[in-house]
Structure 1
Amino acid sequence: MQQIPDLGKNSLGKPDPWAKFRGLAWGQLVLSIALIPLMLAGGAMGQLIGAAGLFTNLFLARKPFRTPVKLLAMLGVVLASYLGYFLTAGLVYNLLKG
């Protein structure tokens, strides 16, 4: 009997950091990684919002929805993440600068 390999580990038995991205369609992959610039340039607030959006998109990508519905939902997460970041950053800036 053949064993099914564990996709969460590499050949050395270490956890595979890219396992969540494997097997996604190109559109799903693009919408998932579209939040990485927010995580890199947004400071702690951008990292929090970007990571939440990224993991939400990875969660949605694995759901058994129809492809157009899934892509629209993932696009909505990307837009909501960026909009939420800019609104929160503007609010914090206005509170601090008065």
Structure 2
Amino acid sequence: MQHTPDLGKNSLGKPDPWARFRGLAWWQLVLSIVPILLLPVGGVIGGAIGAAGLFANLSIARKPFGTPVKVLAMLGVVFASYLGYLLVAGLVHNLLNG
């Protein structure tokens, strides 16, 4: 019986941190990475919301939906990430300076 390699591990048996990104189209990679751009803008809050958006978009990219549905869903996640950051940052700002 032939042994199939685990694509989530590298040749040394260690987990491959890039396995989730492999095999995606360029537009799926771009839409997946856009939410994490909140990290330099929003610090910990932006990074947490951006990471949630990144993982949500990676999950959507792997679903068996049609391309238009994936694009709209992933754009929705990007929009929700930025809107969520603005709402949370505004709330924190008002609590600290209100």
Task: Give me the TM-score of the superposition, normalised by structure 1.
Answer: 0.92
Gaps of 5+ in 1: none
Gaps of 5+ in 2: none
Work out the CA distance in 1 between the residues paired with 2:97 and 2:46. Answer: 20
How far off is 1:86 after superposition? Answer: 1.0
1:46-85 matches, within 5 Å, as: 46-85=46-85
How far off is 1:40 after superposition? Answer: 3.5
Aligned partner letter, 2:26: W
Give the conservation status (yes or no) of the 8 Å contact 2:10–2:16. Answer: yes
Aligned partner letter, 1:63: K
Indicate the RMSD between aligned Cα atoms, in angstroms. 1.2
How far off is 1:42 after superposition? Answer: 1.6
Encode CA deviations 1:31-84: one digit per residue, 9 max, x unaligned.
Answer: 001122212432221122111111100110110000110111001001110111
Q: How many residues align?
A: 98
> Which residue number in structure 2 is paired with residue 86 of structure 1?
86
Task: Give me the TM-score of the superposition, normalised by structure 2.
Answer: 0.92
Aligned partner letter, 1:12: L
Question: How high is the sequence identity, in percent, across the aligned residues?
Answer: 76
